[in-house]
Each structure stands twice: as structure tokens, then as C-alpha cells.
């Protein structure tokens, strides 16, 4: 049905907003079923870059599954980096990096941290508070690789500071002296 509507859009004048809605719904459907290849082909078929940007951004704001969010954030960064505001660019890059970090976690645990995918530093802190040290090690390694040369609102120094803070808390042992009783 989507493809038929797309053909009609080529033959007859369709209002811009209706065209955006059609392509967005088609893209969301393809991402929902996990067909990233067809989703990419759909985005490449759209000739107007303004419409393509609107569709991709609106789809990203739908908070889809992890793979879809990662795909859309990657596509926006690769094709529309210069067209985005600095704040939006940082938000999309944070989502991209957060989704990469989520992909390093065990599959069954990802759902517990998905809501933090756009805030990777907070995700890291949550992992530390949950005592998932092995996961933190992999997440930090991934973050160090991804942050080289990137500006997304936090730096490698912020990660190191967070790790130092929790390491200090882990070594803080409050104790009281026991009195000797006779």
C-alpha cells in the first residue's frame, strides 16, 4: 500500500505534509519489522532533502526500538549533520553513542537501560550503581572509542570523573569503634 501511495505521489500533486506523513509511516513500518535495507532505500528515493530530513527526525522522535533508533541517528548524522542545530546534533550523537553502548550489554538487560539511550553518561552511572562492573568496563571502552573527536555534551574526562567518584565511594567504609565490655 505504501508503494502504491508513493507512485501516486509521483503522478499527482500531493501536499508536502501528506507526503511527509506517508513516507514517515512507511519508514516506521519498515523499521518496526526490522528491514533496514528497505528503509535505507526509501530514504534514498526521496529527492527533496528537506522532506527526507523531516521524515527522519520525526521518526527518530517516535522512540522506536534500539536498532531503529541507532539506524536513524546514524543516518541523520551521516547525511544531515550540517543542517542540524548544535543542540539537536548533540542530542542525536548522544542517542547514537548511547545505542552503541546499549548494544554492548547482554541482550536481555538492554530493555532495563533503553530509556537512558539518549543519556549515555547517566546510563554508565546507572550501571555503576547496579554494580555491573563487567558491563561498565565494556561500556567505558566503547565510549572512549566513540568519543574521540566528538562533541556531544560530555567528554572522556567526565567519564573518568564519574568512575573516580564511584571508586572513591566504593572504598569509603564507615565504621564505629566497639567498646570493650566487661
Nearest to 65 by CA among 36, 40, 23: 36
Nearest to 111 by CA among 174, 69, 65: 65
DSSP letter string over 46-63?
A: ---HHHHHHHHHHHHTT-
Q: Give the mean model confidence (pLDDT) for residues 65-86.
A: 87
Q: How far apart are CA 168 and CA 162, in angstroms?
A: 10
Cell numbers describing residue 96 = 547514537
Q: How far apart are CA 133 and CA 78, in angstroms?
A: 33
Does the pLDDT value for residue 72 go beyond 60?
Answer: yes
pLDDT one-digit tens code per residue, 140-179: 888 888 877 666 677 788 888 888 888 887 776 666 656 6
**Other C-beta atoms within 10 Å of 40: how many?**
14
Please state the pTM of the whole predicted model: 0.74
Amino acid at each position: 500500500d505504501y508503494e502504491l501511495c508513493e507512485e501516486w505521489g509521483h503522478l499527482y500533486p500531493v501536499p508536502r505534509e501528506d507526503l511527509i506523513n506517508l513516507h514517515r509511516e512507511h519508514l516506521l513500518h519498515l523499521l518496526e519489522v526490522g528491514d533496514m535495507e528497505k528503509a535505507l532505500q526509501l530514504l534514498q528515493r526521496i529527492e527533496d532533502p528537506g522532506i527526507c530530513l523531516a521524515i527522519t527526525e520525526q521518526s527518530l522522535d517516535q522512540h522506536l526500538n534500539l536498532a531503529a533508533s541507532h539506524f536513524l541517528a546514524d543516518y541523520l548524522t551521516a547525511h544531515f549533520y550540517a543542517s542540524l542545530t548544535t543542540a539537536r546534533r548533540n542530542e542525536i550523537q548522544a542517542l547514537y553513542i548511547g545505542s552503541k553502548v546499549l548494544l554492548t550489554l547482554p541482550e536481555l538487560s538492554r530493555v532495563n537501560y533503553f530509556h537512558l539511550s539518549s543519556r549515555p553518561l547517566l546510563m554508565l552511572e546507572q550501571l555503576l550503581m547496579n554494580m555491573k562492573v563487567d558491563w561498565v568496563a565494556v561500556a567505558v571502552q566503547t565510549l572512549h572509542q566513540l568519543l574521540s573527536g566528538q562533541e556531544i555534551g560530555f567528554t572522556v574526562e567526565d567519564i573518568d570523573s564519574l568512575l573516580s567518584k564511584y571508586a572513591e565511594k566504593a572504598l569509603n567504609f564507615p565504621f564505629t569503634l566497639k567498646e570493650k565490655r566487661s
